[in-house]
Structure 1
């Protein structure tokens, strides 16, 4: 089983990337959040990997953080949550937000992910509520997950999604990142992805 890949980032697409390890290109599917943390190709990268072996294929799923990989594994234990849906959930909800949504039974947050309807959201909450304790969040040790502690990771998630969208429009990460951060700071915690992208585009076009 492949647990980690280190090599040159050869290509990044909307939901996957290609990592060149000693001349072999590995196709790695990932959440938009993980993809947004990657540098521009060709740069050296290291990603954690979950290997899924099927009858017709060996699939690789990549993660920037161990907490995201742990939640991917947990999510895929729920009936109806395959790898694609798990990545969709992790694309819109980083681990702290995901834990908070499950703990509070907030199905609306879960249905923000593509492929997750009200019924599946209810199943996720029901099956995982008692399994959340002890799951990693990526936050400092001892941090209690609450509405207050979720706010910062939520803003970081919006920033990552906005950077990914702007990269797709041809803007360099180094150019777009400070603009996105300024826009989010200006919105004072009330950031919405569409508004962040719109305002960032206005600044970048000047």
Structure 2
């Protein structure tokens, strides 16, 4: 069983890299993010490896970090998610982004991965909610609840519109949701999106 490769980059393909280890070339299939971060040909590289052995196939999957590898394994615990889909997800989202998506039940973020439809994305965030690594960047309890509502599509329209407007202005989604959560405290009853945007911008400027 191969668990790690340390050698030099021999060749980079569309979905794999060939790592030369003392004259032996190992083909490791990787996600897009891992492939994009690889050094040039002839340069040193270290990959964490998952080895898949079947009667008619032996395949290596490579990861730049242990976190990526952990997510690859976790994702395959979800019904309907195999190695190909798991690799597409971690190739699209960083480990931190994926942790955010699961913690906030943001199926739309997961569905950005190629080949991942809405139903599979919904299963991923639902089934991994209690299995995924701890989420530590959610902010206040109020903003966490709000972001879960947004991710699940259950937030009130003015709230979702205000967050969307702040994101369109260039603010990260988590920061925008945090600002709108603060705005809700000062907005009174049934605020419209314009008021939430105005108060959210005020919170962001502090």
Normalised to the residue count of structure 1, the TM-score between the two structures is 0.65
Q: Which consecutive residues of structure 2, in runs of 5 or more, have no partner in the other structure?
A: 141-168, 173-206
Counterpart of 2:93?
A: 93
Counterpart of 1:140?
A: none
CA offset at residue 87 of structure 1? 1.0
Q: Which consecutive residues of structure 1, in runs of 5 or more, have no partner in the other structure?
A: 136-143, 149-186, 191-206
User: 1 CA distance for matches of 2:139 and 2:93?
Assistant: 14
Equivalent pair of 1:96/1:145 in contact (CA under 8 Å): no
Counterpart of 2:46?
A: 46
Counterpart of 2:104?
A: 104
Equivalent pair of 1:10/1:42 in contact (CA under 8 Å): yes
State the 4+ residue runs in structure 1 displaced beyond 4 angstroms: 187-190
User: 1 CA distance for matches of 2:35 and 2:12?
Assistant: 7
Counterpart of 1:146?
A: 138
CA offset at residue 189 of structure 1? 5.8
User: 2 CA distance for matches of 1:118 and 1:42?
Assistant: 41
Secondary structure, counterpart of 1:52 in structure 2: strand
User: 2 CA distance for matches of 1:39 and 1:47?
Assistant: 12
Residue 4 of structure 2 corresponds to residue 4 of structure 1:
yes
Which protein has the larger Cα radius of gyration, Structure 1 or Structure 2?
2
User: 2 CA distance for matches of 1:78 and 1:127?
Assistant: 6
Higher relative contact order (CA 8 A, sep 6+): 1
1:44-82 deviation digits (Å, cap 9, x = unpaired): 211111111122111101111111101101001112111
Calculate the aligned-residue CA RMSD, in Å.
2.0
Residues 9 and 120 from structure 1, CA distance in 2 versus in 1: closer, same or farther, beyond 3 angstroms? same
Residues 6 and 133 from structure 1, CA distance in 2 versus in 1: closer, same or farther, beyond 3 angstroms? closer
Counterpart of 2:30?
A: 30
Counterpart of 2:203?
A: none
